[in-house]
Amino acid sequence: MHDKPLLKSAGELLRRRHGSSSRAPRTAPEGFALDSATVGAFVAGTLGPEDEATLAGQVAGLLPHHWGLPTKSVEAPTPLVGHLVGRTELMARLDRHPGRPRLTARIYVLLGRLDQYNEDPEVLACVRHARAQDPYSVGLRGHLTPETNDETLDGLAFRIEELLGDSREQDATALALATADWLRGAARNAETTDDHLRETGELMGHLREGIGAAATGSRGSAARATPSGC
């Protein structure tokens, strides 16, 4: 990834617990799975760059559905994860591929952090303080719970992941950027600021920058893939 704080955060990407949201996970598209032969070739070191890019795109497409897929559909990434010494390296590898893989990986860094902060009293306190000043920040209206509680950040993470699962990448990106910017401001403007909140604010700034850069690259890749005149 382009920045050490992002790589450090990648270890949190798939900590997200099944059922962490009170909302039921959506059903994944039928037949949505990775090709086991392609994964095997990657682990064996025989997969070419073009096929690896295709695999990265498949993994990125699978992630938003990981809670709703049948067990056999999600077994294919297991040897890939093991080969890359865990999920951190898997996401770092996705980040090497511009477009959807990189954007998805960086958004999942944010989702992992939202999961952590949902159980962090200090972060939740600064969020409550921020909402006392502005209950519904720009870009978050319609996504925030009326009260700040243990579903507030979880609800934002769920909605971002849901948008990714619906292939609404621009909407997911916009909400992810708004969420990171909001948390950055909340941490910086907390009633009492300490090292933890300062680090939280800095990390949210790094995440916002990284997601924004990946989104710009994703739009560029899509434009290059579109034949002229279409």
Q: If we measure between CA atoms, which residue out of 8, 11, 35, 33 comes closest to residue 85?
A: 11
| Per-residue pLDDT tens digits for 9-40 | 444 444 443 344 445 555 555 555 667 777 77
Tokens standing for 24?
């039921």
- What is the C-alpha to C-alpha distance for residues 127 and 147, in angstroms, rounded to an integer? 11
Length of the chain: 230
Q: What percent helix, strand, coil does the chain show, rounded to 5?
A: 65, 0, 35
Contact, 10 vs 88, CB < 8 A? Answer: yes
Q: Which ranges in 96-168 belong to alpha helices (H)?
A: 100-117, 121-133, 152-165
How far is the C-alpha of 202 from the C-alpha of 179, rounded, in Å?
A: 14
| Closest C-alpha among 194, 203, 207, 201 to residue 130 | 201
Flag whether pLDDT at 188 surpasses 90: yes
In three-state secondary structure terms, 156 is: helix
CA distance 13 to 91: 8
For residue range 85-133, list pLDDT tens digits in order.
445 676 788 898 999 999 999 998 899 899 899 889 999 999 999 999 9
How many percent of the chain have pLDDT more than 70? 70
pLDDT given at position 72: 43
Q: Mean pLDDT across the stretch 71-76?
A: 45
Mean pLDDT of 173-183: 97
Global pTM reads 0.78
Question: What is the per-residue pLDDT for 11?
Answer: 41
Average pLDDT on 205-212 reads: 96
Q: What is the pLDDT of residue 13?
A: 45
95 within 8 A of 217, measured Cβ to Cβ: no
User: 55, 34, 57: which is closest to 46 by C-alpha?
Assistant: 55
In the predicted model, what is the mean pLDDT of residues 172-195?
A: 94
pLDDT at 157 over 70: yes
C-alpha span between 124 and 60 (Å, rounded): 30
Among 37-46, 62-71, 113-122, 221-230, the minimum mean pLDDT is found in 221-230
Q: Confidence band (pLDDT; 50, 70, 90) for 134?
A: very high
If we measure between CA atoms, which residue out of 49, 101, 109, 59 comes closest to residue 217? 101
Q: What is residue 169's predicted lDDT score, i.e. its pLDDT?
A: 94
The answer to whether 189 and 129 have CB atoms below 8 angstroms apart is yes
CA dihedral for 205, 207, 210, 215, sign (positive or negative): negative
